[in-house]
Amino acid sequence: DTAIVWLRRDLRLADQPALHAAAQRHARVLPLYLHAPEEESPWLPGAASRWWLHHSLSALAESLAALGSPLLIRRGPSTEALRQLARETGAGAVYWTRLYEPTGIARDRMVKEALRADGLLAESFNAALLFEPWELKTGGGEPYRVFSPFWRNAEARLDHLPAPLPAPARLSPPERSVAGLSIAELNLLPRIPWDEGFYPHWTPGEAGARQRLEQFAASAIGRYKEQRDQPAVPATSGLSPHLHFGELSPRSALLAAREAARTASPGWLASAEHFVRELGWREFSHHLLFHYPATDRLPMYDKFAAFPWRQPDDYASDLAAWQQGRTGIPIVDAGMRQLWQSGWVHNRVRMIVASLLTKNLLIPWQEGAQWFWDTLVDASLPQNSLGWQWSAGCGADAAPYFRIFNPVLQGEKFDPEGSYTRRWLPELARLPAKYLHRPWEAPSEIRRAAGLGLDSVYARPIVDLARSRDRALAAYEQIKAG
């Protein structure tokens, strides 16, 4: 008999419970990818995510072909496509792994009902998270809103996680062959080649994920705790897009980190646990969006609904300057260029650019979240929503509103030599470190020698940092009072 394995954001062979169950229980396995982006509306995959998906599917198709059962690609709507394929192949079962965004949950529930009504076995598994969002509750039986108690509860259970599942050794395809599309026919790659800068940074797919994990576990993990806030240092894992597309299970990442620390040096243990804690933030973000499903667009705390954001007509040009990395604030522009060129930004810099947008520029956080959604290769609805609400001060366990980052001091603290800023902002390469993060204070002869003309955006930032800080605090007082 044949089982269909419906693949979505679980594009791997190892520790893939749907694929594992299908291979264990059925003689024949048909791996399937259904293209139905409109079913994820309003959060259709952004341009950078589509780039990643194209390459990840290509890598997966190769690995599946080597196992004996090639990847079939078809278009949705999902329910009809699955029913049709079951009829064509005589499949009696459909397996998949769960998504946790509201639209994914609603769609999967409908699919499951429809398939069961047809007499098919329809079963879903957890492949994306260490714990199901409904497994962890406060003492009072409520979902968590604060990270520390959430993580205390989760951490105590980590030693009891089941071991990762092996990849199937081989797969037999269905008896009747079926026709599908090529990956190219999905048109996921951009028509204008803005993606050239992505290739040197990324190898989408399970092998690329494993290689990244091995490299990280071999060295950077030892300096993670100390240096994870310095964007110039490769001290973080860079695993976020691999985790998002499910090319690697969080369980495998966690075990590899602990194992590396255990065998390398006792000094690495605390550092590895810090990394594990960040995997905990990933879990927490899924927990929040699952239990508070409107937080992808609405602030977690109601009082922020009345926040006096600026209006689109008023902020359009500032938003464009932020998106294009020409705010005149070096660390911010470096981050926004890193995002555009490589599809990724260091976490510390994400916090800095988000603070400037939401606090100094008083632009609604949803605008920033939308831009990140389109440009990040790791764009993930739970993590992006949490990151933006945290930065804007309106989310669960957020940064207190009144703690407003000063991007100049942040740059000087976390990129003191300026090598990150110079790398992504070559027009500042010749500015001495003393002025790098505050070029408008450099004497004119130094600016001239560095090649910065009077018309440069680095002559004056688009917003006065001190005045805009006061304006943000006043806006906050307004909603605090009312």
| 274-285 core/surface letters (b: 16 or more CB in 10 A; e: else) | ebbebbbbbbbb
Of 33 and 52, which has the nearer Cβ to ligand FAD? 52
In the complex, the smallest distance separating the C-beta of residue 392 from ligand FAD, rounded to whole angstroms, is 9
| Residue 37 neighbours by CB under 8 Å, 6+ apart | 44, 45
Q: Which residue is nearest to ligand FAD (CB)?
A: 387
Residue pair 9/99 in contact by the 8 Å Cβ criterion = yes
**Least separation, in Å, of the C-beta of 62 and ligand FAD?**
24
Distance in Å, CB of 218 to ligand FAD, minimum? 14
Alpha-carbon gap, residue 428 to 453, rounded angstroms: 12
Of 168 and 231, nearer to ligand FAD (C-beta) is 231
CB of 348 to ligand FAD, least distance (A): 8
* Closer CB to ligand FAD, 2 or 358, in the complex: 358
Q: Cα–chain-centroid distance for residue 205? A: 15
Coil, strand, or helix at residue 370? helix
Is residue 240 annotated as involved in ligand binding?
A: yes
Distance CA 435, CA 437 (A): 6
Q: Is 238 annotated as a binding residue?
A: yes
Which CB, 64 or 386, lies closer to ligand FAD?
A: 386
Closest CA to 248 of 395, 130, 121: 130
Nearer to ligand FAD, 48 or 73 (CB): 48
Site residues, ligand FAD (CB under 6 A): 228, 236-240, 243-244, 278-279, 281-282, 285, 347, 350-351, 354, 372, 376, 378-380, 383-384, 386-388, 391
What is the rounded distance in angstroms from the CA atom of residue 323 to the CA atom of residue 473? 24
> Minimum CB separation from ligand FAD for residue 451, in Å?
32
The 3-state DSSP class for residue 33 equals strand
Q: Is 236 annotated as a binding residue?
A: yes
Question: Which CB sits closer to ligand FAD, 58 or 227?
Answer: 227
Cα–Cα dist 154/156, whole Å:
5
DSSP H or E stretch at residue 123: strand 121-125
239 is in an annotated binding site: yes
275 has binding-site annotation: yes
Beta partners for residue 122, in sequence order? 94
Distance CA 277, CA 271 (A): 10
**Distance of closest approach, residue 57 Cβ to ligand FAD, in angstroms:** 20
Cβ distance 202 to 51 under 8 Å?
A: no
Q: How far is the CB of 426 from ligand FAD (least distance, A)?
A: 23
Closer CB to ligand FAD, residue 2 or residue 383?
383
Q: Which residues are annotated as a binding site?
A: 224, 236-240, 275
Q: Binding-site residues for FAD, please?
A: 224, 236-240, 275
